Structure 1
């Protein structure tokens, strides 16, 4: 009834086979009882469809064999309660009025994707545990609480993705922390106040979304997820990040906007693969912008310094005989950035970042570089400097990776 077909008649057979894998009951305003009846009808239609296929395949079979088939079909009709759906792989039940999983769900033995988003579910019953082929489970925007999941989710060995965003969780359910094969875990827009150290158990995790919660800190163990590529911590109450974040060598995207961050751990520059970071709506950015504006407005370089910078930047030759002694000494006091990708020169006027150096264009965080930061000269830790930046002859090379997107507003 709810299977669809899109292709031409010449491809009808293949199309039916493909779309028989998808069953869509979304947006029908079904309650649990109505859904159960719809699933029963679907299984019945699926059996009838398979019977029709069998009849076509056996149309040249002898009459005696046909009689045997009829008897077998009759027996199957009498045993309808035991019928299962071995075809459907994706079941969409989102945007209904469901409060619990119906028993009929257990008859979809090959189900890989189950979408129950935007319903009225507060408790997931153990029928879920019988879906042994399940890979993706979507439970967004329901009413699930800390004790609303089956106790032993680890029996679902093939489950790779769980989306529990928009529920009523106050903590990460313990059973999720035991699912070592999970790759994608979405827990955004709940009421979670802490991340348990056991998060490190999910060694296969690639995406972790904890945005829109009530986190004030995250544990060091968050740095023990070797495959984590995207970490979403936006819209929380974080005041700082652990230094252990620098151990996330696979991290590509880090979303930190709408927190209370006044600084970032300096070790974060070790994340050579990081390509996106969002830090808008943090005191880190606000204070930096205000500080930078004051520097530019009230502490602009003098004409003397600008002229001297031009001479140094363009490597214009001069000698002691060309300048007065005081000017020659002034020219000798120039500071150069240690980063070979930055040709910045300053004498007295510079903009210094707030506990996190911009690294002169290689790591463009948090905002921009006005001239050159004093930290680039005397206070830059050794690990800020990359051996990839120079070859054996001292010539510049492109760094292996650099931030390509810095979101500030």
Structure 2
């Protein structure tokens, strides 16, 4: 029942694997295997997935050079602290019954861990002890019930993959933007309504999965992600209908008068107008339509512009205009696209 495999690239190095997967072993029988194993110091990879384990036997510490451990789909209710006695670099414990209370209180005893997979468990909070794993490169926490990402996520400076899909996230902390080595960020199937502008700092990001959220807009800064080659946006209410179909409230008389002053460059100073009007006039915003010289104050028109992104995607980005007249289709203007193209954007 017990098998070893060896794969060596030269005579001086060999990687040995103990494969006990798919044998439906319980913890007692597994303990017997561990106790009777010959040369446990030679084992670097252990595959235990698809067994019936309620706990990991303490005899696992006999494998003093164990670097990779896969204990997925075993029905585990807890992870023992003794795993810290093995020099683990990869721990895969997905699809078990692990809760936050049943994780090791600290991961400081496995400081060289580079990959941690706790997907498909029963976690409700981002495990704070993970932040101790400063060597971590790959973190998979998808398919849990986690409602927020710790703001101290920035401590994982070597992180290349952060997978948080299938949770209950409602926001992404701006500190995610400090994970500048990230290649992949998986946030699909959550409840996100927006993303922080700091995502533009992820200069190495290649894959950004955002499907099945509640996103209505994207930060304009996303355009600066030049390495991005995979972007998934389907099943988001990014565009419900064109802004031209919306009902716009007319501006107040105060705003109309202020717009005339600003657009006609009429001189005013503290002696000619009251201070409160001076302050109001100084809050004007320029219309983003390059063909319009208008301004607005309180009354603005929300407009969705489709931006060509690296020649591969059409991204809907929110802009503010002074008037609904700035939205009408104009010859040669690529901002207006067909409903069919919108659906292609949303479906990724």
TM-score normalised by the chain length of structure 2: 0.71
CA contact 2:100–2:127 (8 Å) conserved in 1? yes
- Superimposed CA distance per residue, residues 198-249 of structure 1 (whole angstroms, 9 cap, x where no aligned partner): 1111000000000000011111011110101100000000011111111111
2:279 aligns to what? none
Match of 1:343 in 2: none
SS for the counterpart of 1:40 is helix
Mapped partners of 1:40, 1:136: distance in 2: 23
Aligned positions of 1:209-224 closer than 5 A: 209-224=163-178
Q: Return the alpha-carbon distance in structure 2 between the equivalents of residues 187 and 36 of structure 1.
A: 28
Match of 2:33 among 29, 35, 38: 38
Q: CA deviation at 1:263?
A: 0.7
1:218 match: secondary structure: coil
SS at match of 1:277: strand
Match of 2:182 among 206, 223, 228: 228
Corresponding residue number in structure 1 for 2:45: 90
Q: Is the CA contact 2:200–2:221 (under 8 Å) kept in the aligned structure 1?
A: yes
Helix, strand or coil for the counterpart of 2:314?
Answer: coil
Given that 1:265 and 1:356 are in contact with CA atoms closer than 8 Å, whether structure 2 keeps it comes out as no
Aligned pairs for 1:80-119 (under 5 A) are: 85-119=40-74
- How far apart in 2 are the matches of 1:183 and 1:139? 16
Unaligned 5+ runs, structure 2: 246-288, 292-301, 317-330, 337-343
- Structure 1 segments of 4 or more deviating over 2 A? 1-7, 353-357, 359-363, 370-375
**Secondary structure of 1:244 counterpart:** helix
| Matched residue, 2:307 | 358
Higher fraction of strand: 2
- 1: CA distance between counterparts of 2:204 and 2:212? 24
Q: 1:267 to 1:29 in 2, by over 3 A?
A: same
**Structure with bigger gyration radius:** 1
Match of 1:138 among 77, 89, 92: 92
Q: Structure 2 vs 1, CA of residues 91 and 6 (structure 1 numbering), >3 Å: closer, same or farther?
A: closer
**Cα contact 1:120–1:142 (8 A) shared by 2:** yes
Shift of 1:175: 0.5
Report how far residue 407 of structure 1 moved. 7.5
Q: Is the 8 A contact 1:263 1:356 kept in 2?
A: no
Q: 2:14 and 2:310 mapped to 1: Cα distance?
A: 50
> Contact 2:97–2:121 (CA<8 Å) still a contact in 1?
yes
Larger fraction in helix:
1
Residue 123 in structure 1 maps to residue 71 in structure 2: no
Q: Following the alignment from structure 1 to structure 2, what is the Cα–Cα distance between the partners of residues 356 and 34?
A: 63
CA distance in 2, matches of 1:365, 1:200: 30
**Contact 1:93–1:116 at 8 Å: present in 2 too?**
yes
SS of the equivalent of 1:366 reads strand
1:372 is matched with which residue: 308, 333, 339? 333
Render the CA deviation track for 1:263-283: whole Å, top value 9, x for unaligned.
101111011111110000001
**Contact 1:234/1:258, CA 8 A, preserved across alignment:** yes
Aligned partner of residue 313 in structure 2, secondary structure: coil
Partner of residue 188 from structure 1, selected from 139, 142, 154: 142
CA deviation map 1:126-170 (0-9, x unaligned):
1111012x1100010011111222122122122100000000111
Task: State which of 126, 129, 150 in structure 1 corresponds to 2:104.
Answer: 150
Which SS does the other structure have where 1:200 is aligned? helix
Residue number among 194, 202, 205 corresponding to 1:248 in the alignment: 202
After superposition, the Cα gap between the structure-2 partners of 1:131 and 1:371, relative to the gap in structure 1 and judged at 3 Å, is farther
Which of residues 116, 132, 146 in structure 2 aligns to 1:162? 116
Please tell me whether residue 238 in structure 1 is matched to residue 192 in structure 2.
yes
Contact 2:41–2:65 (Cα < 8 Å) also in 1: yes
The answer for the alignment partner of 1:408 in structure 2 is: 347
C-alpha distance in structure 1 between counterparts of 2:41 and 2:304, whole Å: 58
User: Superposition RMSD on alpha carbons, in Å?
Assistant: 3.3
Cα offset, 1:357, TM superposition: 3.5
SS in 2 for 1:245: helix
C-alpha distance in 2 between matches for 1:99 and 1:407: 43
Equivalences for residues 11-90 of structure 1 within 5 A: 18=14, 21-41=16-36, 43=37, 46-47=38-39, 85-90=40-45
Instruction: Measure, in 1, the Cα distance between the counterparts of 2:228 and 2:332.
Output: 24
1:69 aligns with: none
